[in-house]
Chain A
Amino acid sequence: DTEVTQTPKHLVMGMTNKKSLKCEQHMGHRAMYWYKQKAKKPPELMFVYSYEKLSINESVPSRFSPECPNSSLLNLHLHALQPEDSALYLCASSHGDRGKAFFGQGTRLTVV
Chain B
Amino acid sequence: QQPVQSPQAVILREGEDAVINCSSSKALYSVHWYRQKHGEAPVFLMILLKGGEQKGHEKISASFNEKKQQSSLYLTASQLSYSGTYFCGTYSEYGNKLVFGAGTILRVKS
**Which residues in A have some Cβ–Cβ distance to B below 8 Å?**
33, 40-45, 48, 55-56, 58, 90, 97-98, 100-106
Contact = CB atoms under 8 A, between A and B. Distances in A.
Interface stretch (B54-62, B70-78, B93-101): B93-101
A45 B74 CA distance: 26
A98 B42 CA distance: 16
Given A45-B97, A98-B98, 4 more contacts: A43-B100, A48-B97, A103-B34, A103-B41
B43 to A, nearest CB: 7
A102 B44 contact: yes
Given A48-B96, A101-B98, A43 B47 contact: no
A101 B41 contact: no
A106 B80 CA distance: 24
B44 A100 contact: yes
Q: Among the interface residues A33, A43, A101, A104, which one has the most CB atoms of the partner chain B within 10 A?
A: A43
A39 to B, nearest CB: 10
B87 interface: yes
B27 interface: no
A90 B46 CA distance: 19
B103 interface: yes
Contacts of A105: 40-41
30 contacts: A40-B103, A41-B102, A41-B103, A42-B87, A42-B101, A42-B102, A42-B103, A43-B87, A44-B100, A45-B97, A45-B99, A48-B97, A56-B96, A56-B97, A58-B97, A90-B41, A100-B32, A100-B44, A100-B47, A101-B32, A101-B44, A101-B98, A102-B44, A103-B41, A103-B43, A103-B44, A104-B41, A105-B40, A105-B41, A106-B41
